[in-house]
Amino acid sequence: MESTTFGAALVETCVSAAVAAPSIHNTQPWRFGLDPETATFEVRADPERGLRHADPTGRALLLSVGACVFNLRVALTHFGRPPVTRLLPSPDDPGLLATVRPAGFPAELTAGQGEERRVDLYEAIWRRHSSRFPFTSRPLPAAVRDELAAVALAEGASLRFSEEVDTTRMLRLTAEAERRNRLDAHRAAEGRHWVHRELEPAPDAGLPRTALGPQDARERLPLRDFTAQRHPERLIARPFEDAPVIAALTTDHDRRIDWLRAGQALERVWLVATAHGVRASVLHQPVEWADLRDALADACDGTAHPQLLMRLGYGPEGPATPRRTPGREQW
Ligand SMILES: Cc1cc2nc3c(=O)[nH]c(=O)nc-3n(C[C@H](O)[C@H](O)[C@H](O)COP(=O)(O)O)c2cc1C
C-alpha cells in the first residue's frame, strides 16, 4: 500500500483511537511504529510505564496493550481498511507485541476479513469510560450477557458471569486484595503516584480525582481505592447496587500471547457493552496476589486463568480520563 493512500491524518486518527483504550492506572504503556512501505503499525510496550509492584510480570501491561491493539483494529476497519493482526509476530524481536497491517483497498476489503467487518464499534471507542459509580438495580438482559460472552470467545478468552454465591466469593477475594494493597507500602505508594494531585498543567496520564467515585457504604463492592487511604472521613461512601453483576475474564493458558488476547477481549466486550448503553469498571486487585488469583480460579472452574473481573450494569457514564497526545514520543 502506498503511503499516499494512507495519509498522516488517518494514521494519527487511528492512533488516537488506539490510545483511548483502557490501561491499568491509565499508564498508557504502549509505543507505536509505522512501516511506511506497507503502512503496517508496530505496537510495543513502553517498559518505563510498567507497575513494578502491582504488576511485576507485566501481565496487566500486556492486557492494556491488547486493548489498545483492539481499538486500532476497530479504527482501521471503520475507515475501510480491515486489518490483518499478528500477535508476537517475531521470535527474534520479543518486544514487538503486535503488527496491524491495514488491508489494501478495495481488493482485500471484499476478500473476507471476517470478524473485523461485522459491527462498527468505532463510535463506542469515544464513549467508553470506566464508571466507578453506583449502578441501578436494572438487570443485565440474558441476550446481552450471551453476546458479551460470545465476543470474548471470538478474541480467545472467556467471559464468565457468576452466580450469586460465586459473586460473593469473588468480591471477598477482591476485598482481601484491597486490604493487602493498602498495607503494602510499595503498592500503596505506586497507586497514589497515578492519582492526580492539583498539578498545573494537569498530567496526561493517571487518574483525575473525579474519575475515582465513592466507596461502597455497605462495604460489599471493593472498588479500588487508588489513594490507599480508606478513611471514611476522607473518602465519600454511597450504597452501591444490591446485586452486582460480576464477570470473570479468563484464558485457558497464561502466556504473553494469552494476555494480549485477553486485552483485546476486554476491549471488545467493553465496546459492545458501551454500544448497548451498559457501563463497566474493572476489578483487577485479586489477580495481583498469586494465592488470591488461585482462589479466584477455583471460583471460576479451577482450570482457567483469571485475568480480571468486570463489573457491568446500568448507571452514570464515567468521566473521560486524559491521554498523552499521540506524537513523536510514542513513536
Ligand atoms: C489491565 C487493567 C486493569 C485495571 N484495573 C483496574 C482496577 O483494579 N480498578 C479500577 O477501578 N480500574 C481498573 N482499570 C481501569 C483503568 O483504571 C482505566 O482504564 C484507566 O484509568 C483509563 O480510564 P478509562 O477506562 O475511563 O478510559 C484497569 C484497566 C486495565 C486495562
The residue among 126, 161, 181 that closes a domain is: 126
Decide: 71 and 125 in contact? Cβ < 8 Å.
Answer: yes
Asked if residues 81 and 105 have their Cβ atoms less than 8 Å apart, the reply is: yes
Q: Looking at the predicted structure, is the pLDDT value of residue 39 above 90?
A: no
Is there a contact between 122 and 78 (Cβ–Cβ < 8 Å)? yes
Q: Give domain status of residue 299, yes or no.
A: yes
Q: What CATH number did the domain enclosing 12 receive?
A: 3.40.109.10
Q: What confidence score (pLDDT) does residue 103 get?
A: 82
Residues 265 and 150: their CA atoms lie apart, in Å, by 10
204 and 254 within one domain: yes
- CB atoms closer than 10 angstroms to residue 9: 8
Separation of CA 24 and ligand 1 centre (Å): 5
Stronger pLDDT, 65 or 227, i.e. the higher one: 65
Same domain? For 48 and 74 the reply is: yes
Q: Is residue 47 part of a domain?
A: yes
Q: How many Cβ atoms sit within 10 Å of the Cβ of residue 14? A: 27
Tell whether ligand 1 has an atom less than 6 A from the beta carbon of residue 49.
no
- Which residue's C-alpha comes closest to atom 12 of ligand 1? 282
Q: Is 291 in the same domain as 154? A: yes
Q: Are residues 14 and 119 in the same domain?
A: yes
Q: Are residues 260 and 122 in the same domain?
A: no
Phi and psi at residue 85, to the nearest 5°: -110, 135
Residue 309 and residue 206 share a domain: yes
Give the per-residue pLDDT at 111: 44
Percentage with pLDDT > 90 across the chain: 79
* Residue 75 reports pLDDT greater than 80: yes
Averaged pLDDT, 187-214 = 89
More confident position, 4 or 137? 137
Q: What is the edge-to-edge ordering of all strands in the sheet holding 158-161?
A: 158-161, 245-251, 305-313, 279-283
Ligand 1 atom nearest to CA at 319: 26
Mean pLDDT for the stretch of residues 297-326: 94
User: Do 119 and 147 belong together in one domain?
Assistant: no
Identify the residue whose C-alpha is closest to ligand 1 atom 19. Answer: 22
Q: Are residues 291 and 163 in the same domain?
A: yes
pLDDT > 70? residue 266: yes
Under 8 Å between Cβ of 239 and 216: yes
CA of 234 to the centre of ligand 1 (A): 22
CA of residue 289 to ligand 1 center, whole Å: 17
CA of 130 to the centre of ligand 1 (A): 7
The span from the CA of 251 to the CA of 237, in Å, is 34
At 230 the pLDDT is 61
Q: Is residue 328 in some structural domain?
A: no
Atom 3 in ligand 1: residue holding the nearest Cα: 24
Same domain as 161, residue 302: yes
At 213-238, the pLDDT tens digits run 899 999 999 999 998 776 556 678 89
CA of 132 to the centre of ligand 1 (A): 10
| Three-state DSSP state, 101 | strand
Residue 15 domain-assigned? yes
Residue 327 belongs to a domain: no
The tally of domains found in the chain comes to 2
Secondary structure element (H or E) that encloses residue 170, with its range: helix 164-183
Ligand 1 atom having least distance to the Cα of 307: 1
Question: 105 φ, ψ to 5°?
Answer: -125, 135
* pLDDT tens digits, 85-126: 999 999 999 999 999 999 874 444 444 444 455 689 999 999
CA dihedral angle for residue 281, residue 282, residue 285, residue 290, rounded to 10 degrees: 160
Cβ of residue 181 lying under 6 Å from some atom of ligand 1: no
- The number of beta carbons lying within 10 Å of the beta carbon of residue 251 is 21
More confident residue, 255 or 164: 255
Cell representation of residue 137 = 438495580
* Residue with grid cell 499516499, as numbered in its chain: 4
- Taking 90 as the threshold, does the pLDDT of residue 198 lie above it? no
Residues 183 and 259 in one domain: yes
User: Could you tell me the pLDDT band of residue 130, with boundaries at 50, 70 and 90?
Assistant: very high
Could you tell me the distance, in angstroms and rounded to a whole number, from the CA of residue 21 to the centre of ligand 1? 10
Instruction: Note the pLDDT of residue 117.
Output: 54
Q: How far is the CA of 281 from the centre of ligand 1 (A)?
A: 7
Shared domain for 121 and 260, answered yes or no, is no
Please state the rounded mean pLDDT for residues 269-290. Answer: 98
Indicate if ligand 1 lies below 6 Å from the C-beta of 282: yes
Predicted confidence band of residue 5 (pLDDT cuts 50, 70, 90): low
Q: Looking at the domain assignment, is residue 184 inside a domain?
A: yes
285 CB under 6 A from ligand 1?
yes
Q: Within this chain, do residues 119 and 178 fall inside the same structural domain, yes or no?
A: no
Res. 13 pLDDT band, cuts 50 70 90: very high
User: How far apart are the C-alpha atoms of 327 and 74, rounded to whole Å?
Assistant: 20
pLDDT tier at 195 (50, 70, 90 boundaries)? Answer: very high
| Residue of 16, 25, 312 to mutate, ligand 1, most atoms within 8 A of C-beta | 25
Q: CB neighbours (10 Å) of residue 104? A: 16
Summarised one tens digit per residue, pLDDT across range 89-100 is 999 999 999 999
Query: Which range marks the domain in which residue 298 is found?
Result: 142-313
Does residue 329 sit within a domain?
Answer: no
Band (pLDDT 50/70/90 cuts) for residue 294 is very high
132 part of a folded domain: no
Q: To the nearest whole number, what is the mean pLDDT of the chain?
A: 91
Mean pLDDT (whole number) for 151-165: 93
Name the DSSP letter for residue 110.
Answer: G
Q: Is the four-CA dihedral 223, 228, 232, 235 of positive or negative sign? A: negative
Neighbours of 205 (CB within 10 A): 17
